Structure 1
Amino acid sequence: MKLFKRFWMVFFPLTIIIIFALIIFEIDPRHALEKSKNLKNTEATSQPVAMVHSVQSNLGQRKYILNAPLIHQQPQLDRGCEVTSLAMMLNYAGVKVNKMTLANNIDKVPFMKDGYRGNPHDGFVGNIKTFSKSGLGVYHEPLARLAETYMPNRIIDLSGESFDKVLDQIIKGHPVVAITNYTFKKLPDGQFRTWDTVDGKVKVTYYQHAVLITGFDDQYIYFNNPLGKKNEKADRDDFIAAWKQMGSQAISYN
């Protein structure tokens, strides 16, 4: 009992200090998550193939999976999940471009300038490469603009549409870049904050993440995770709720 009390007296204050630091100093929680992955720098390693339709006869369900290449964002891009997901989509579509080229060419805005925060609707906020400098991420508009330079008149911005439109793209054989969070579940309201930007107030979270949606069935959404695995899966309802919470942002192509 004495040992337990001693442990609790040390552990509890330490926990409070860490939480306080995350809130006050805006420490990006993805930093600890990504450093723990110890992932290899994996570029496109698998060739795109036609969509696989696998029938789960015992449940009467149909499962759609695309064989899109997996690319990891690290070690070069601590915050590069959005451009890395876009690189996977473009390579699947036959456009040979790497994540670093996209990272260098994405529109960018300062993390802070003249007392205003950067707006992720305008460009990538802050530093995309390292957690040692301030940064956040980017929303769908700059991603769509960048994608359009590689696939003119073929990019579809599905942002604001229903998730059924996303699923339709998968059925057609076209993967979808989606803005979500790295838990793939709806976040508590306390994980969001409102930034004052030159364009007005913008809602953001440091839990922001992006993936390439590659498939679905009645229970799961499948995706290539720039911080994880090829065709990872998350509960379908949870994934959709997280996607909607981030503004229903998604881009694909025709």
Structure 2
Amino acid sequence: MVPIDAPLIQQLPELPRGCEVTSLAMLLQSAGIKVNKLQLAKEIKKDPTPYQGKDGHIFFGNPNTGFVGSMDDKAKAGFGVYHGPIFQLAKHYLPQAVDLTGSSFARVEEQLTKGRAVWVITSINFEKVPENLWVTWRTPIGKIRVTKKEHSVLLTGYDSRYVYINDPLSPVKNKKVLKKDFIAAWQQFGSQAVSYR
């Protein structure tokens, strides 16, 4: 399939940890909604739990609740946000938004075939993250396993060997990435995906 012509938006310099809201801005703009990454960065739900290291344990926010830590200042502790808060914000702008999290990649491909881009969580290098790079945090709603290698991109197409993405950290539109590795990484993060009807 020919990749979708979705806008490519860079998260830098303003949002060093803003890949999720930047990828959401690309999704919304590709659906005809006029909203930018900085607006979304302001509006995304936050988990205000401060970072604390105590007795060998990390206490921090939960990305399922809201954005964890600082999005715009790398000198401060920060992480990111998962599909739940992203989907809520997407629905605010686009009532026909759908949360496809937990679906098969075939469902994602169906969306792309229909000309609808898909927001996803994957890894920074689009392949599975080794076990030793994951840590467990304690959060206000229980423990969570996370990795700093987490990243969010917009899927714009696929073929038998590759997926095509708009990566908020790359100037290349519809960048091609090996499909097998990409899917393995996506599944490792719980198959998180948001699109629209």
So what's the TM-score if we normalise by structure 1?
0.73
Decide which structure has the larger Cα Rg and report it. Answer: 1
- Which residue does the alignment assign to 1:200? 142
Unpaired stretches in structure 1, ≥5 consecutive residues: 1-62
Amino acid of the structure 1 residue aligned with 2:154: L
- Give the superposition deviation at 1:132: 1.1
1:65 aligns with 2:3: yes
CA distance in 2, matches of 1:224, 1:158: 19
Q: Look up the match of 2:162.
A: 220
**1:201 Cα deviation after fit:** 1.0
* 8 A Cα contact 2:153 2:167, kept in partner: yes
Correspondence 1:92 to 2:30: yes
* The structure with more helix, counted as a fraction of residues: 1
Identity of aligned residues (%): 50
Counterparts of 1:22-41 in structure 2, within 5 Å, are none
Q: Structure 2 CA distance, aligned partners of 1:111 and 1:138?
A: 13
> What is the deviation of 1:187?
1.0
Q: 2:176 maps to what in 1?
A: 233
After superposition, residues 11-160 of structure 1 pair within 5 angstroms as 63-112=1-50, 116-152=59-95, 154-160=96-102
Q: Tell me which amino acid in the other structure corresponds to 1:105.
A: E
User: Normalised by the size of structure 2, how large is the TM-score?
Assistant: 0.94
The aligned residue for residue 187 of structure 2 is 244
SS in 1 for 2:12: coil
User: What is the SS of the residue equivalent to 2:2?
Assistant: strand
Question: Closer, same or farther in 2 for the Cα pair 1:218/1:106, shift >3 Å?
Answer: same
Q: Which amino acid aligns with 1:162?
A: S
Which of 91, 94, 104 does residue 162 from structure 1 map onto?
104
Structure 1 residue 173 displacement after superposition: 0.7
Alignment partner of 2:143: what SS?
A: strand
Answer yes or no: is the 8 Å Cα contact 2:51–2:69 preserved in 1.
no
Cα separation, 2, equivalents of 1:164 and 1:190:
30
SS of residue matched to 2:72: coil
Unaligned runs of 5+ in 2: none
> Match of 2:41, as an amino acid?
A
Rounded Cα–Cα distance in structure 2 between residues aligned with 1:67 and 1:149:
23
Q: How far apart, in 2, do the equivalents of 1:126 and 1:240 lie?
A: 28
